């Protein structure tokens, strides 16, 4: 046996051992009959009730929960998976028109069970650490903390030299190929029933391309299908730091010229997966130039101090929203409490940024629009909206 043959034999033994260990740990998540059981479906139904118990369809399902779960389990075990037509509606979010599908509670329960007991245990194990979306213990706060950690580490090691790539995938959910999802399922699953059920779910409202917004299964596939791009960046291109949150990503490296080739490489690799980088939002920057990532603007001082502020468009949007709330309050459509809670929620969302002057300007606008009877001297004092009361005689004044 030659040296190359010994290396190949050793690799195959290790690969077989890893696969056996994976199947042992994920035994229940890889078997259709162990995933879809009455206790699992019933627990998934209780999870689906959270926050939507006021809906008539949910109340009707909840009243006969045990019977509905048993009926659904019987149909799944018999190979019958009838999905209801999902109502479609459109919302305009930050200037983008988004197509949303509302999943009926009768279909949401088995999809929640599929996600909670199968997709998440199996697919989340394959993700890189710096993939932050739709995972327990992660999220936008974790992503922002990691980006700050990457920047600080780079400054300590390389100073203000090098560069970074900030990229965005254009029409992310609408660009995910169903064939790519099938490749992911075939790679990690052997059970044809689980594969068939998931492919039927994603093809129910889309033909060959795109995932619906509103399904938890879509989020699981959205973070796992481009995972090969994360591994390609981390293991083949090997920059100093990299991370991705859904369609937004960042790459940091000490060699600016090397990043030019990295940008071309990830553009070509993303095209192989069916994705297109947004040319307006994907940029190659010298380290130290200000940039925006996940609605936070990062800038640097000459000494390397990192300044994090809310993105300007977020502040502008909040001021416009506050003016609309003030008009509705004047018309008697909403109570004062709703306006105050809205402002407090937005201020909490930008907590951790250097935003003292921004919050003061929002407080000042709040007072001018909603509490005009305050004396002018008080309006210019440092304040929070919690410290003011309104006239109790007003019908909607409930401070």
- For range 182-202, the mean pLDDT: 91
pLDDT band for 284, please (50, 70, 90 cuts). Answer: very high
94 versus 355: which is more confidently predicted? 355
Q: What are the helix (H) ranges across 26-82?
A: 32-35, 38-48, 56-63, 65-77
Percent of the residues in the chain that have a pLDDT greater than 70, as a whole number: 92
Q: 251, 233 in Cβ contact below 8 A? A: yes
Min mean pLDDT across 25-29, 64-68, 115-119 is at 25-29
Cα Rg, the chain, nearest whole Å: 26
pLDDT bin (cut points 50, 70, 90) of residue 229 is very high
Residue 92 has pLDDT above 50, yes or no: yes
The answer, as to whether pTM is greater than 0.85, is no
Average pLDDT of 354-376?
Answer: 80
Average pLDDT over residues 79-83: 81
Average of per-residue pLDDT values in the chain: 86
Mean pLDDT of 111-130: 92
The distance of Cα 373 from the centroid of its chain, to the nearest Å, equals 42
Q: Say if CB 184 and CB 285 are below 8 A apart.
A: no
Report yes or no: 197 and 81 within 8 Å, Cβ to Cβ: yes
- For residue 26, the model assigns a pLDDT of 81
Instruction: Please give the biggest Cα pair distance in the chain.
Output: 94
Pairing of strands 241-245, 163-170: unpaired
Residue in this structure with the two tokens 């999943």, named with its chain if needed: 103
How would residue 373 be classed by pLDDT, with cut points 50, 70 and 90? low
User: Over 70: is that where the pLDDT of 346 sits?
Assistant: yes
The pLDDT, as a whole number, for residue 353 is 87
* Helical segments of 26-165, H only: 32-35, 38-48, 56-63, 65-77, 105-114, 120-123, 140-158
Q: What DSSP designation does 29 have?
A: G
* Position 27 confidence tier, pLDDT thresholds 50, 70, 90: confident
Quick one: pLDDT band at residue 388, thresholds 50, 70, 90? very low
Residue 257 in this model has a pLDDT that exceeds 90: yes
């Amino acid at each position: 046996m030659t040296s190359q043959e010994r290396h190949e034999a050793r690799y195959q033994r290790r690969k077989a051992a890893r696969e056996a260990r994976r199947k042992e740990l994920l035994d229940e998540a890889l078997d259709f009959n162990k995933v879809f059981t009455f206790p699992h479906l019933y627990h998934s139904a209780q999870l689906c009730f959270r926050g939507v118990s006021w809906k008539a369809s949910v109340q009707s399902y909840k009243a006969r929960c045990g019977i509905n779960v048993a009926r659904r389990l019987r149909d799944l075990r018999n190979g019958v998976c009838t999905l209801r037509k999902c109502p479609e509606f459109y919302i305009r979010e930050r200037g983008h028109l988004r197509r949303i599908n509302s999943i009926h509670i009768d279909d949401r329960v088995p999809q929640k069970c599929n996600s909670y007991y199968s997709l998440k245990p199996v697919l989340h194990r394959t993700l890189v650490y710096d993939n932050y979306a739709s995972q327990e213990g992660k999220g936008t706060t974790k992503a922002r903390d990691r980006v700050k950690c990457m920047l600080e580490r780079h400054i300590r090691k390389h100073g203000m030299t090098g560069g970074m790539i900030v990229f965005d995938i254009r029409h992310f959910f609408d660009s995910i190929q169903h064939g790519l999802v099938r490749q992911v399922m075939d790679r990690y699953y052997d059970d044809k029933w689980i594969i068939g059920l998931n492919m039927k779910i994603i093809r129910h409202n889309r033909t060959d391309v795109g995932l619906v917004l509103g399904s938890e299964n879509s989020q699981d596939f959205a973070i796992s299908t481009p995972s090969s791009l994360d591994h390609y960046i981390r293991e083949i291109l090997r920059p100093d730091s990299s991370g991705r949150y859904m369609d937004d990503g960042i790459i940091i490296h000490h060699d600016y010229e090397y990043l030019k080739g990295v940008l071309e490489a990830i553009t070509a690799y993303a095209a192989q997966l069916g994705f297109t980088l947004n040319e307006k939002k994907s940029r190659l920057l010298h380290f130290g130039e200000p940039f925006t990532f996940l609605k936070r603007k990062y800038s640097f001082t000459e000494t390397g101090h990192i300044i994090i502020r809310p993105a300007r468009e977020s502040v502008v949007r909040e001021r416009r929203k506050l003016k609309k709330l003030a008009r509705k309050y004047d018309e008697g459509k909403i109570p004062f409490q709703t306006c105050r809670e809205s402002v407090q929620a937005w201020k909490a969302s930008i907590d951790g940024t250097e935003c003292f002057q921004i919050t003061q300007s929002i407080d000042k606008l709040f007072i001018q629009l909603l509490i005009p009877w305050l004396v002018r001297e008080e309006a210019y004092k440092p304040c929070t909206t919690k410290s003011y009361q309104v006239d109790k005689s007003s019908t909607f004044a409930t401070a």
